[in-house]
Structures are given as C-alpha cells and as structure tokens.
Amino acid sequence: MRLIESINDIKAIIRSQKSMGKTIGLVPTMGYLHEGHMSLVNMSVQHNDFTVLSVFVNPTQFGPNEDFDRYPRDIERDIKMAEAAGVDVVFSPSVEEMYPDGYKTYVEVEDITKILCGRTRPGHFKGVTTVVNKLFNIVQPDRAYFGQKDAQQVVVINKMVKDLNMNVEIVTCPIVREEDGLAMSSRNVYLSTEERKSALILSKSLFEAQELIKNGENRKENILKYIVDRIKSEKGAQIDYVEIVNADTLDSIGEFLKGRVLIALAVKFGNTRLIDNAIVEV
C-alpha cells in the first residue's frame, strides 16, 4: 500500500492502473477511521481491482465557527487500518495541494443544500460537492462509496453526478452503529461520558419511531412530536432539526407518510453536533 500526497503522483498511478484495464474504487473520508468508514472500504475492495482511500479534512466544508482546527486526525493509524483492509493507495493531500493560492472554482447543487443540515451549515454542501468533484477528477473512479449516515450528502452527490453527467457509480452503504445503537462518527470522541450516554436517545428515538410506523402510525406530525419529545427529555440535548422528507429527493411530504421516507435529525450535545437518520418504506 502506498501513501500519496501529490495530485500528479496519484494521477500517474491511476493512469497506469487504467491502462491495464483495472477498475478503480474511491472512498472519500476525512480520516480518523472507524468501522463505518471501513464498511465502505470493504465494499470498494470487493467491487474493484484498485481502491483509493482519500483522507482529507476539507476546510471548505467547515463554517468559520466550526471544528476544522480541532477535527480529530491520526494519519498513522488510518494508514495501518487501510493497509489491513486491502486499500491500494491512501491519498492524503495537504490543504495547499487541493486549494493552492488563488483558488476560485466551486461546484454547487441548489435548493436541496439549503434545507436540513444546510440551514445551520450554510456553505457546507458547496464545500462537499467541490471537494468530491475534485477527487473524482483526480482519481477518475468507476465507483465511489458514501455512507447513509450522511443521508443528505448522498442525495446531493447523486444529484451532482446526474446533473453534470459524471461517469461514476455512486454506491451507498448502510449506517454502522456501536453495539448500543449510536451511529459511528469521528466526532463521537468529543463527547464526555455523560454526553455519550445522552446521545443514545438519537438512535433510540429513531428505532422507536420506526416501531410506531410499523404499528400503523402514519401521521407525520405525530411521529415528529414523538421524536422531539423523546430527545427533549434527555438532559443537555439541543435539537437543531428533526424532519421527515422524501428519501430520494428530500422534497417535503404531506401530512401522511408515503413511499420511501427519510427521518433525519441533528442534535447538539454541548459543542458536539451529531446527526442520525433512518429510511422507512411505508
């Protein structure tokens, strides 16, 4: 396995792999790897001849008061995990390599980036689509792997790929959770012991809401109220949003759940903002 930091170097490697007819899988991450990331890597290694794992904490997707500087990083550990999983190249460019002085170009998906997480994180998805676009141009993957954990990101990336006629297949992988239900996230390390306990209410309320729906509840307001009340009952939980939307388009739905719906939420515990979601077929 190789660690590559330069765009020209990885382009040369990709050219040589492609000239041998190899298929390329890309797993974009911000590093500090956990089992959620590794599930994407395992899929890519299974599906493709050559897997590139990118590790890049992308400054353009962080707001000015967000956690870019303190975002957890451990490239040595990431490299070991990548190697053990069969990754061929870890691509970990510097910020200057990706955004040299005078950088001017951004890719933006409209409307669906302004709702849900986009409301409290203006500019976030513009940063995401820009860096993913750059990674696609650099790595030219046949397939790229994204986690359902970031449900809105999946819809936004799929929209970009479709609208811009990009030649890459987007593969979405299920949410990987800790044994007690908490969705794995690099940001979970920020949580104090008490916050970690409180944060369980996110997966719990989502699981319970799914039970309610299974048992016949189909009024959007009732389900939202149930989840909001459950989360509010937990000390220190500050709700950013709880919403139910069309899972494929993020369009709002009517009074009653119908088709494939996404129940998505973002909640802060202290300074740590966590997201979680569930997709339900009604």
Contact footprint for ligand AMP (CB under 6 A): 29-30, 36-37, 39-40, 146-147, 149-150, 173, 175-176, 183-186
* Nearest residue relative to ligand AMP (C-beta): 147
CA distances from 39 to 26, 43, 45, 76, 186 (A): 13, 6, 10, 19, 14
Q: How far is the CB of 174 from ligand AMP (least distance, A)?
A: 7
37 among known catalytic residues: yes
Closest to ligand AMP by CB, 75 vs 228, is: 75
Shortest distance, position 15 Cβ to ligand AMP, whole Å: 26
Task: For ligand AMP, give the closer residue by CB, 17 or 61.
Answer: 61
**247/257 with CB nearer ligand AMP:** 247
In the bound state with ligand AMP, the residue whose beta carbon lies nearer, of 132 and 257, is 132
The candidate with the shortest Cα–Cα distance to 221, out of 256, 265, 264, 251, is 256
Compute the least distance from the CB of residue 16 to ligand AMP, in Å: 27
Shortest Å distance, C-beta 132 to ligand AMP: 10
Q: Of the candidates 36, 30, 4, which has an alpha carbon nearest to the alpha carbon of residue 17?
A: 4
Contact 223, 212 (CB under 8 A): yes
Does the CA dihedral 270-273-279-282 come out positive or negative?
positive
Helix (H) or strand (E) holding 281, with range, is strand 272-281
Which residues are catalytically annotated? Answer: 37
